[in-house]
Structure 1
């Protein structure tokens, strides 16, 4: 059974569109999207949490969790910002991936726009429990079952893998009245580190990411929030695009600013259509929560019964500037 699980893991891993983790709500995971997104927010400190559970129809689904924070270090129009993020990814209960990165970003004002330059460096750790797997050589003909006590003939396999990893990116932003636009590009695995459990020098290829987003009002209380991302990792290409529709909320007991909902599609670009996702969320003064659900449309739809992934994103920001013109209610005498 464990060998079968390993085969399924390898097959799914091969069919996946990229080796790195990805989120449907990619715009809500800024430190995994682009190092230049570090510090791109209004406030003092931002804390982020993303949870993704994928392919629950298979015996052991994929789970990804990230938690990170970034902060403005200097107080100016162009503040230096630092961020940290920890990532844990568990693939089919077998392959465990842990990553820890530190990032820095600095915006440069160019007229009415800003160009953010970011760098990121960290450590990647991958492991799997070899003693919990069974291999063809361990099949006992006398019993008709696999015997984990038999030699698996896999002496050259490493169970742990460690390597440093470095990323860089740029982000162009423009904001005016009730319109915001951002366009970014990031390059991951700059040093192309060695990544293999087998003897050899298999190198992790560069990953290119281009992304964009906007938020503009079509009515005093209604806005459109489109987002797009294109990822290229060797021969694997992924395109995700979609839009949310947001509604501003009048004064309410929840102190909610707005709610939003929308959809997004994921495509393999000339390879296979992957999934369609539905998104919803709510924004408070300091807190934004988003949820999404992917419906699998790829070649794996039979095995997964179209059940893709459930995802939740949480962003909490402290030190948001107070409104300049705040109305203080008072009773008439």
Structure 2
């Protein structure tokens, strides 16, 4: 009978430490570590800075939270808060908008953390007199910081011959445990909107235009690739109370790419104080990765979205088909006359 190989405690700690360390280092340069939401249209400044200020109201506040792969010991967690507004200027036909977004992402035993603060500045051009066509161009400068906790990792050098001993040195040397860099993105958006139930929104954006260095070892050859995103969403009225919202998003960063297709079915309830109230149910597919089920509620100036990813990729063996739970909240304050015309230029559905 052939002898079977036995994995010792020392082998376990060595293997575990190497895998976690490689994950931490590689995650800082891979596509998957960019801030990532299935409800991408609920985090508009992460999607495209050109979306800044394109809403009916004075101030918009947004919050997002995602917990991914809860089946593993330390799941990924991502959170964002954002706000944007249009400035009061002397421009008669156009508008200037500003936005601010803060992202925080944490993953793994090492508590690998990404923190971002970005400012979005957009110029919105009215393309016609009845305020139905708009073109927005924006720039988004900001700061990103990444760090991990080496003390949370274990290595074979900390095995004393009997058991793991945290008092022993890991004998791992890093030039730094934190990197901070300046980054710049930009975006272009075209919006056609006849009313709140008939619109088309198409955009293209590019992030990491500065290609910042991503190494904890002073390796100048490791840089973050430019990420390009193309997205589109439309609302098409079917009846007086029902509409559909087809949605598409494509991202490419280096050799990595992602395509997401799907849409919502939306049912309008009785307006509250003249403001739309609606419920939406949606389904999406991220190619070769996950199915996404989503629900959305509009109540006056508040929008709440929930979604859940069901993993379909090769990770299902580890994730047990589980993916990520996500929640989004958007609240709009309306104090000034809307930039987008309230007048109805045609029937809502025809």
Q: Same fold (TM over 0.5)?
A: yes
Map Cα deviations across residues 213-241 of structure 1 (whole Å, 9 max, x no partner).
Answer: 10110111100111111000100000011
Deviation at 1:110, TM superposition (A): 2.3
Q: 2:103 aligns with which of 77, 80, 87?
A: 87
Q: 1:280 aligns with which of 295, 298, 314?
A: 295
* Structure 1 residue aligned with 2:187: 169
TM-score, length-normalised on structure 2? 0.84
Deviation at 1:152, TM superposition (A): 2.1
* Structure 1 residue aligned with 2:125: 108
Q: 2:229 aligns with which of 209, 222, 228?
A: 209
Deviation at 1:175, TM superposition (A): 1.2
How has the CA–CA distance of structure 1 residues 251 and 210 changed in structure 2, closer, same or farther, with 3 Å as cutoff? closer
* Structure 2 residue aligned with 1:67: 81
Does residue 129 (structure 1) correspond to residue 149 (structure 2)? The answer is yes
* Structure 2 residue aligned with 1:270: none
Cα distance in 1, alignment partners of residues 138 and 153 from structure 2 = 41
Two-structure CA RMSD over aligned residues (Å): 2.6
Q: Does structure 2 conserve the Cα–Cα contact (< 8 Å) formed by 1:242 and 1:263?
A: yes
Structure 1: unaligned runs, 5 residues or longer: 268-272, 326-333
* Structure 1 residue aligned with 2:165: 147
Q: 1:290 aligns with which of 291, 305, 308?
A: 305
Structure 2: unaligned runs, 5 residues or longer: 1-12, 345-350
The structure carrying a bigger strand percent of its residues is: 1
Cα distance in 2, alignment partners of residues 189 and 295 from structure 1 = 29
Q: Does structure 1 conserve the Cα–Cα contact (< 8 Å) formed by 2:93 and 2:125?
A: no
What secondary structure sits across from 1:80 in the alignment?
strand
Deviation at 1:279, TM superposition (A): 0.3
How has the CA–CA distance of structure 1 residues 163 and 13 changed in structure 2, closer, same or farther, with 3 Å as cutoff? closer
Deviation at 1:72, TM superposition (A): 1.0
Cα distance in 2, alignment partners of residues 252 and 211 from structure 1 = 31
Q: Does structure 1 conserve the Cα–Cα contact (< 8 Å) formed by 2:211 and 2:224?
A: yes
* Structure 1 residue aligned with 2:176: 158
Map Cα deviations across residues 11-46 of structure 1 (whole Å, 9 max, x no partner).
Answer: 995997533111110001001001111111010000
Question: How do residues 255-270 of structure 1 correspond to structure 2 at under 5 angstroms?
Answer: 257-267=277-287
Deviation at 1:151, TM superposition (A): 2.9
What secondary structure sits across from 2:45 in the alignment?
helix
TM-score, length-normalised on structure 1? 0.88
* Structure 1 residue aligned with 2:244: 224
